[in-house]
Each structure stands twice: as structure tokens, then as C-alpha cells.
Amino acid sequence: MNLRMKLLVVPCAALSFAGGVALATSPETKAEPLPKHVLPASKDGNLVLGLCDGETSMEVPGVKDGQKLTRAQAITATAQLMDDWRKKNPNANWDDVPGPVLAQATPPAAKKSPPPAPQPNPGAKPAGNDVRQGGVGAQTGASAVPQQQKANLQTGHTYGAYSERDEQVWAASVQETVKEGHRVFHDAEALGGTVGVSCDMCHPDGANTHPETYPKYQVQLGRTALLRDMINWCIENPVRGKPLADGDPKMRAMEAYIYAQRKGVKLEYGKH
């Protein structure tokens, strides 16, 4: 464990979800930076750890910033952070990771109960499939989880605890990016072109862009190229524009559009 690292113990899906929304609502502007958790500095120069809820943090007494935590110290620290989070979110959904012994056990019916005491090592002591109703709401898809359990699915896994609605929201976010890519791909001006040429003029529906063959050795360039290298090649040459930076939202959106046209096509990187 290293200094000022965030412990990835609490619903990280929520965090990436927030990022997705930011992209989805502003596809044409610069991509908004993902939320950042600024940790308070320790007066005594102690190591400060942050939780991935983006709010909770703690000092580790006796460990200076820059020093490494022992495994035992790390377990104690994560338990404390988890405890803090549970106190702040008494009604939140939290699927404790089931121990190996209970992996095959029939899950108990969903029940409402105060959060159990934090387990220093959730894997060591079986915590069961403690899925609660209610809590923070639809975002975490909690209501879908018991149904999934009845369907004899693997449970007790926060990462997978999302609902159909979540999936729809996420798909819409992806689609928004693809749509923006479609726009740029078909618009000479958006591409920064100067000669009235847009990508679709040679690649209707993204045809013959074969993204599934990248990375590959691009003979004409004399090196291995990624799809974005070829997008930029086309932007510079037939389109007569300026190449886009790797992280340029237009580049990202066009990659999304091009890949979206090839759904189901076998990935064959390196193919000529």
C-alpha cells in the first residue's frame, strides 16, 4: 500500500457512473475531468488515506507520509474507513463479500437490519449475503438484486448489483458518445477540414475502417499504428485538417462511432 491511495472498497460503479453522465451531457465541449478526491494534509505528516466515496478520509497514526503500510495496518485502516462510511450511510446498500464457506449457501431473504460491525477482513469471517432494501435508491439497483438471487445467480457482489435501468442509462451515455462521433465523422468542419472532405465520403457507415484489425503494422507508415493514428492520418491528408490529440473529445467520439459500427465482428488485431 502506498501513500494517499484511495481504497477501492465502496461502490465504485457510482463513481464511474457519475463520469459517464458528465460525458453524456456535454459531448461537444471538452470532456469534464473525473471527480477528484483532495485529501486533507496531516499536521503531523502522517499518511492520509481516502475512501473512494470521494469524501471519507483518515490519518494513519504512526505512519508517516511516504512510508509503506504493513498488511495488518492496511487491514485495520480499511476497516476503519469502512466503518466511517457505514456510519455516514446507515441505510446504504452494501453487499458484504461472502466468505468461501458460504459461497454455495442459499441466500437468506432480504432483511432490514442495522449495519453489522465492520469486519477487519470480510473474507475471513463469513458475512453472508446481507442485501438490504431501500437505502440510497435506484442507482445501486438494490431492488433487482433479490430477484437475481431467486434466479440462482451469483450474488453478494456489489460490482454487479445494477438494474436494467442502470444498463439503459449507461447505454444511453455510450450512445450519446457514438452519436457525437457520427456527427464529427460526417462533418468536414467539425473535423477541422479545409477542403470539404469528411470521413463518410469514403467510409459510409464507417465501412472499410476495420477497427478490429488495429493495432497493426501499417506498412505505409512503417510502424505499428492504432486506429486513432489512422483517423489522424485521414484528418491530416484527405481532410486537410490538424491532427487531434489522443484525448480530444472528437477523437474519442469518433473511435466510439467507428467501433460501434463493427459490433459482433471478430477482433483480429494485426490483420492485413
Partner 1 sequence: MANKFQSIETKHYAERDAFFEGLKKLDRRAFMRVAGISAGIVAGMGKLTPNSFQLVNVAEAQGEKPKFSFAYISDTHLYENKLNDRFVRAILKAVDDVNALDPQPDFVLFGGDLAQLGQAGELKLGAQILKSVKAPIKMMVGEHDWFLDMGELWKDLFGAPNYSFDHKGVHFVVLNSIHEKDFWTERKLSPMERMKIVAGLDNGIQSRFEVGAEQRQWLQNDLAKVAKTTPVIVFSHSPLYKYYKPWNFWTDDADEVQAILKPYEKVTVIHGHTHQLLSNRIGNISFHGMLSTAWPWPYAPEGLPSLTVPMNRADPFSQFDGCGDGRMDVLESGLVDKLYNLWQRDPITVRSAYLGSGGKQSAPPKPKLPTY
By CB under 8 A, name the binding residues for partner 1: 186, 195-197, 200-205, 207-210, 213, 219-222, 230, 233-234, 237-238, 272
As measured in angstroms, the least distance from the Cβ of 250 to partner 1 is 19
Tell me the Ramachandran region of residue 38: left when phi exceeds 0, alpha when psi lies from -120 to 50, beta otherwise.
Answer: beta
As measured in angstroms, the least distance from the Cβ of 244 to partner 1 is 17
**Per-residue CA distances from 144 to 112, 140, 163 (Å):** 16, 9, 6
Q: Phi/psi of residue 217, each to 5°?
A: -75, 115
- DSSP state at residue 83: H
Cα angle for residues 124, 128, 133 (degrees, 5° grid): 140
As measured in angstroms, the least distance from the Cβ of 193 to partner 1 is 9
Helices (H), the chain: 12-25, 71-88, 144-150, 164-185, 227-236, 249-260
CB-nearer residue toward partner 1: 8 or 202: 202
CB-nearer residue toward partner 1: 30 or 272: 272
As measured in angstroms, the least distance from the Cβ of 220 to partner 1 is 4
CB-nearer residue toward partner 1: 17 or 185: 185
As measured in angstroms, the least distance from the Cβ of 199 to partner 1 is 11
CB-nearer residue toward partner 1: 86 or 183: 183
Buried b vs exposed e over 114-128: b needs ≥16 C-beta within 10 Å? ebeebbeebeeebbe
Longest CA–CA separation in the chain, Å: 67
As measured in angstroms, the least distance from the Cβ of 261 to partner 1 is 10
CB-nearer residue toward partner 1: 118 or 192: 192
CB-nearer residue toward partner 1: 113 or 220: 220
